[in-house]
Amino acid sequence: MLYSIMGERIRDLRVDRDFTQKEIAVYLNCSQVCYSNYETGKRSLPVEYIVKLAFFYNVSTDYVFGLTDNKGRYSDGKFLQLRTDQLMQK
């Protein structure tokens, strides 16, 4: 399930920005077939690739992991404050 969520997210990010699988595979230094397997959830996406893709697409790793629907990155302590606020609501 997690692999399919991440695969869907990275596919949507790629398609929204008009990149091909081959172009992203070159960026990650892997084959197009390997990258295709990440998008389809047939293969787990290495953490270093998740970080690289999040940086490349300017989204948070939480978004790639499917932990949030907010694409924005956290900076300047906003992440800690957001998490603290969420915990206080529970």
Expressed as residue numbers, the domain containing 34 is: 2-89
pTM: 0.77
pLDDT at 85 over 50: yes
Between 41 and 81, the more confident residue is 41
Q: Mind giving me the DSSP string for 40-61?
A: HTSSPPPHHHHHHHHHHHT--H
pLDDT at residue 70, as a whole number: 83
* 27: CB partners within 8 A, 6+ apart: 52, 56
* pLDDT tens digit sequence for 21-41: 999 999 999 999 999 999 999
* pLDDT tens digit sequence for 52-66: 999 999 999 999 998
Total domains present in the chain: 1
